[in-house]
A = this chain, B = another copy of it.
Amino acid sequence: MADFPIRFGIIGCAEIGRKVSRAIQLAPDATLSAVASRNVDKAVNFAKANRFPPEAKIYGSYESLLDDPDVDAVYLPLPTSLHLKWAVLTAQKKKHILTEKPVALNVAEFDQILKACEENGVQIMDGTMWVHNPRTHKMKEFLNDKERFGQLKTVNSCFTFFADSDFLKNDIRVKPDLDALGALGDAGWYGIRSILWAADYELPKTVTAMRNPVLNEAGVILECGASLLWDNGKIATFHCSFLSNLTMNLTAIGTLGTLHLTDFIIPYQEHEASYTTSTKPDFNELVTGWARLPSEHTVTVDLPQEVCMVREFARLVKNIKKNGAQPDKKWPTISRKTQLVLDAVKSSIEKGFQPVEIVN
């Protein structure tokens, strides 16, 4: 397979593109083929700083990169408000799309992008990395284990980080014309995704925003949260913020077991990742201590999670290019569900924190 790598072009020189450039270089079936910026010097510097191969092409416009026949797939780290235009164009140019999250500003835009991908037979996948970590698969085995975990009852997910004054003034994630979804689109995307992941991607029935969203002067969300409710009584809550110390906790509680970790999005270390589980831990007889402690599990991560993500995306693209397969529907379906819940949180905030029904 290594003789036929997927050739990536990168549109835009966002910070996150550095990490993904490295991931493309480390992934077995992928290679860096081109980078484009509206400012060609930026693209030159980006390619140099990120050790692009000498044969990689540098473009001063996104369009020229999209016209390059030596680009199979495009990684799109642009601000969310630009996704619709550039993802649709990328699809029309028959390039596969690995896009940063949130995929779109709302589900309507998401569906336009998806339609373009379907019409042009291209793969789309969002850039949520942690779901590709081998740890995530091990944790899912635990959640699926009726003996050790039982039936899922509740999930709590929290992702916060403390943005400095420069971020709060200048970052694209606080600008209504760039990443209008703010902390909800950025940090909240992970919280929502982690809840859906734990719930086997079963959509909740209703979403109710917490009564505490913090908005900046331009109306962009800097902090918010919500509760998600399913018909069978499952409940999940998440909290996301640019205003609190870096914290990323995920707890999923079943009837018989509990999964817990405090680094679910970015593991503390690149090459190993841990989580704890407990199954019916109980107290000792006088309830002065626990009968069994939660167990810590450590998973060796041979390839960093973002490399696993690129590998998975490249696998799907190869399957289309080499075997004439149809684009995979699993990842776009999961992305869309994440976007649906995200829309519902926003809508609940706008409706004065009333519960919003999720209509798929």
Contact = CB atoms under 8 A, between A and B. Distances in A.
Interface of A: 16, 18-19, 22, 150, 153-154, 156, 158, 160, 162, 206, 208, 210-212, 214, 223, 225, 227, 229, 233, 235, 237, 239, 241, 243-247, 249, 251, 253-258, 260, 262-263, 266-270, 276, 278-283, 286-290, 293-294, 304, 306, 355
B212 A233 contact: yes
A158 B162 CA distance: 24
Contact of A18 (B210, B266, B286): B286
A294 B261 CA distance: 12
A176 to B, nearest CB: 21
Given A289-B270, A294-B262, A210 B233 contact: no
Contacts of A257: 245
Contacts of A306: 288
A212 B227 CA distance: 10
Given A19-B286, A227-B227, 5 more contacts: A153-B241, A160-B253, A244-B258, A266-B283, A268-B289
Given A154-B241, A256-B162, A283-B266, A246 B293 contact: no
Given A160-B154, A280-B245, A211 B229 contact: yes
Contact of A245 (B208, B225, B253, B288): B253
Contacts of A258: 244-247
Contacts of A355: 211
A282 B251 contact: no
A244 to B, nearest CB: 4
Contacts of A243: 153, 255
A287 B19 contact: yes
A212 to B, nearest CB: 4
B156 A156 contact: yes
A300 to B, nearest CB: 15
A206 B214 contact: no
**3 nearest A-B pairs in the assembled complex, by CB-CB distance:** A153-B244, A212-B235, A244-B253
A242 B264 CA distance: 27
A171 to B, nearest CB: 14
Contacts of A266: 283, 287-290
B227 A210 contact: yes
A288 B241 CA distance: 20
A237 B229 CA distance: 15
Contacts of A288: 19, 266, 270, 304, 306
A251 B255 contact: no
A22 B286 contact: yes
8 contacts: A153-B241, A154-B160, A158-B253, A245-B278, A246-B283, A247-B258, A266-B288, A267-B289
A287 to B, nearest CB: 6
B158 A251 contact: yes
